[in-house]
Amino acid sequence: MVPLDRMDADLREFVRSLQRRLRKVPSAYTLGSVLFAVALLLLLASLHSELGVVGTGVAVGEVAPGISEREVPFRVTPMFRASLVVAVCGVDFHLLNDSEYTTYAQDGSLPVATLDCNRTEAIVHDRVGRMVTVFGATPGTPNVTFGISVAFIGTRTPYAILSVPGAGIGLAVTIWVSMTMMARGTDRLAERAREVDAKRKQKRMKK
């Protein structure tokens, strides 16, 4: 068995040797690796995406008795939440995509109303550019005012700004490490050149 004091001495010598080696390692390799890891984490965080509100829209106006249509600016995303504010009941609001509007233009058929006074909020899974209103009141009835607010839902990257410092740190570390490697390589070449020159001088002196 190896004596404990011998094992302790060997361990201390190993630690001292490791410390000497670490001191010789350029800071570009040690600190640079830490900074590169930080840059990588920042870049990964900047890629995080989530579903949320990416914009808003609104359509306001008046509805006359009968059937009428108008353009609405709800094409921003293929999904949005619509909220209706209407003065009285009796008006159906049909938010139509291009296919539904084509069908309506051809035969006058409409899908189920998207919004009315009983259903003032709805999630729409399509881009909408036209709205048809149906107000079943007698001619001469006063127009009904309305307002539709929309929250467009889409993919957003709330931490995208982190890509700027992440890319900056990554580029700086890459340049730092590259320059250090070039400098160390140059030093080795210079050292070898000095060794070769010294050997040549020794040979000349022997002659």
Query: Which range is least confidently modeled, 70-84, 100-114, 146-160?
Result: 146-160
For residue 163, give both structure tokens: 């890509």
Domain span at 77: 50-156
For residue 11, being part of any structural domain is answered with no
The CA distance from 81 to 123, in Å, is 5
Residue 19 has pLDDT above 70, yes or no: no
26 vs 145, which has greater pLDDT?
145
Instruction: Specify the number of domains making up the chain.
Output: 2
For residue 182, being part of any structural domain is answered with yes
pLDDT grade, residue 2 (50/70/90)?
very low
Kindly report, residue by residue over 58-95, the tens digit of the pLDDT.
999 999 999 999 999 999 999 999 999 998 899 999 99
Predicted confidence at residue 76, as pLDDT, reads 93
CATH, residue 90: 2.60.120
CA distances from 121 to 41, 67, 80, 136, 188 (A): 40, 21, 11, 21, 73
Are residues 121 and 36 part of one domain?
no
pLDDT grade, residue 167 (50/70/90)?
confident
The CA distance from 185 to 189, in Å, is 6
What pTM did the predictor assign? 0.62
Kindly report, residue by residue over 112-147, the tens digit of the pLDDT.
999 999 999 999 999 999 999 999 888 889 999 999
Are residues 147 and 109 part of one domain?
yes
Residue 158 has pLDDT above 70, yes or no: yes
27 vs 139, which has greater pLDDT?
139
Residues 6+ apart with CB under 8 A from 171: none
Are residues 147 and 84 part of one domain?
yes
Residue 204 has pLDDT above 90, yes or no: no
Strand (E) or helix (H) holding 50 = strand 50-63
